[in-house]
Amino acid sequence: MTPTRTHTDILNAAGLTATDLAGGDLAVHSPIDGAEIARLRQTPAAQMPDIIARAQSAFKVWRSVPAPRRGELVRLLGEELRAAKDALGAVVTLEAGKITSEGLGEVQEMIDICDFAVGLSRQLYGLTIASERPGHRMMETWHPMGPTAVITAFNFPVAVWSWNTALALVCGNPVIWKPSEKTPLTALASMVAFQRALARFGDDAPEGLVQLVIGGPETGAALVESPAVAVVSATGSTRMGRIVGPKVAQRFGRSILELGGNNAMIVAPSADLDMAVRAIVFSAVGTAGQRCTSLRRLIVHNSIRAELVEKLKTAYATLPVGDPRDAGTLVGPLIDADSLARMLAALEQARAEGGQIYGGERCDAVAGGAYVTPAIADMPGQSAIVKTETFAPILYVMGYDTLEDAIDLQNDVPQGLSSCIFTLNLREAEAFLSAVGSDCGIANVNIGPSGAEIGGAFGGEKETGGGRESGSDAWKAYMRRATNTINYSAQLPLAQGVKFDI
């Protein structure tokens, strides 16, 4: 089935007008066919101070709006996203190249986090704590931090924004959003939904509560370097994080970094192989291997290695690569030609390091797009290229003999985002999840490394950057903690029994 809606139809359906889409110098292309679909106005560098100042002013107001009332805005945003789900999903597909189901799934993730954040808005729990002094009360309260920059990447052009924004808003922080230069249209379309929510919400929301800035690294730098931006949540490459982290640290700001992943699956002898195959294929080729949590390394027990690789090749052989809008497509285009070039170079290096490559061939599903068949690289060991994150559908396969070896391989990369094991053996599964198991922020059993639910905290250590977003107590990253002691007695005892009588 060939989609019949034009690119413009899709953008219009999401509320973007001709005025929105033209008049600037940032050319936006669809990875589907390489067509230019908009020329956007970028935010002039000179405006950044005003934008940040506006966020600061908004903060002074928003922090005093009760959190459950702030939650109501997020609830309305959730309603608007529900209403716009199809339209917004289609823009994700158009601009990021995701297949339809994944585009919709991304919007669903926005909706889910809104629901979750609404619940949080009546929680934001601190602690009351037993004090050692008579007539004293202790507690811990959480207060908003201030303006929050959200810097997002092309591969989750809207979900990551929503994770941050739903929480930041409920926590009392204004947001300044800098989307990837490759996916500003999904950002604009999301802001349309947000504006609708805002209009229904009424007067409690200050002007400048959520602002969108469009631009490149210097726009990001303005946010990263401003002492008035209390929190910088940045998703992207380790290279980017290595710049952002120290800069924010130097000005004693707070950063939430979600950087590279080089995610592995261990397949143990007892694994349900059919399930494993399905999980591997989805994790490795879904979103054309461009998820932070995409499966990149397969560590398979030597006793089943040959069989598993064979099954994978069979599965890969029939994977429909093509226009992501087509119902049958499972593998859409890479984001752009550079990305494809990096993939092909990586495969070249893998070959040089002894790998047997299967797939990884350029194909011309749609003219103008960077389409490629997903690749399997059967490797003699965890060589340099395997330890490198290449944002493309390459699956490196390695063998192992003991679980300890497998875990060593899993952990012996600089990144620490996601990981999993397929096994039906309880001892193996538990060992993998234990202190001596996976060193990743996400460690799963019998599901792939990607596709986290929003109820858990998302992120990882090492070069992944250490940030956590979404569920659990990730909201604390958007707030500051105050430890309070209240003396309601008429005495002044000192802690630790210190005596000091003047």
Give the residue numbers annotated as catalytic, written as ranges. Answer: 258
| Residues 315-344 as x/- pattern, contact with its own copies by CB under 8 A | x--xx----------x--------------
By CB under 8 A, how many residues form the interface with its own copies?
130
Q: Which amino acid is at 86?
A: D
Closer CB to its own copies, 44 or 66, in the complex: 66
Contacting its own copies within 233-272 (CB under 8 A): 241-242, 245-250, 252, 254-255, 272
Q: Distances from the Cα of 190 to the Cαs of 7, 94, 317, in angstroms? A: 17, 14, 37
| Residues 14-53 as x/- pattern, contact with its own copies by CB under 8 A | ----------------------------------------
Closer CB to its own copies, 43 or 255, in the complex: 255
Q: Distances from the Cα of 178 to the Cαs of 23, 217, 358, in angstroms? A: 19, 10, 38
410-423 as b/e, with b when 16 or more CB fall inside 10 Å?
Answer: bbebebbbbbbbbb
CA torsion sign, 452 to 191 to 55 to 200?
negative
Residue 501: Cβ-neighbour burial (10 angstroms; 0-12, 13-18, 19+): exposed
Closer CB to its own copies, 281 or 300, in the complex: 281
Query: Taking contact as CB under 8 A, which single stretch among the options 12-20, 46-54, 296-304, 485-493 is the one that binds its own copies?
Result: 485-493
Q: Does 90 bind its own copies (CB under 8 A)?
A: no
- Report the candidate in 111, 11, 89, 84 with the shortest Cα–Cα distance to residue 324: 89
Closer CB to its own copies, 217 or 414, in the complex: 414
Among 51, 90, 116, 360, binds its own copies (CB under 8 A): 116
The span from the CA of 323 to the CA of 360, in Å, is 17
| Coil, helix or strand at residue 68 | helix
- The token duo for 460 is 């990882």
CA torsion sign, 186 to 470 to 450 to 436?
positive
| Coil, helix or strand at residue 254 | strand
Contacting its own copies within 378-397 (CB under 8 A): none
Closer CB to its own copies, 357 or 447, in the complex: 447
Q: Does 286 bind its own copies (CB under 8 A)?
A: yes
Q: Are 456 and 440 in contact (CB under 8 A)?
A: no
Among 93, 149, 444, 478, binds its own copies (CB under 8 A): 444
- The token duo for 204 is 């409690």
Contacting its own copies within 157-176 (CB under 8 A): 172
Query: Taking contact as CB under 8 A, which single stretch among the options 43-51, 193-201, 294-302, 449-457 is the one that binds its own copies?
Result: 449-457
Among 120, 167, 340, 413, binds its own copies (CB under 8 A): 120
Among 12, 57, 141, 411, binds its own copies (CB under 8 A): 141
Closer CB to its own copies, 43 or 438, in the complex: 438
**Which residues fall within 8 angstroms of residue 233, CB to CB, at 6 or more apart?**
148, 149, 150, 151, 164, 168, 255, 256, 258, 467, 469, 477
Among 134, 203, 367, 402, binds its own copies (CB under 8 A): 134
Query: Taking contact as CB under 8 A, which single stretch among the options 142-150, 188-196, 218-226, 371-379 is the one that binds its own copies?
Result: 142-150
Residue 496 C-beta: closest distance to its own copies, Å: 4
Tell me the Cα Rg of the chain: 24
Residue 355 C-beta: closest distance to its own copies, Å: 23
Among 9, 36, 50, 132, binds its own copies (CB under 8 A): 132
- Report the candidate in 163, 217, 216, 224 with the shortest Cα–Cα distance to residue 190: 163
Q: Does 485 bind its own copies (CB under 8 A)?
A: yes
Contacting its own copies within 64-83 (CB under 8 A): 64-69, 71, 75
Query: Taking contact as CB under 8 A, which single stretch among the options 48-56, 180-188, 365-373, 491-499 is the one that binds its own copies?
Result: 491-499
Q: Are 275 and 320 in contact (CB under 8 A)?
A: no
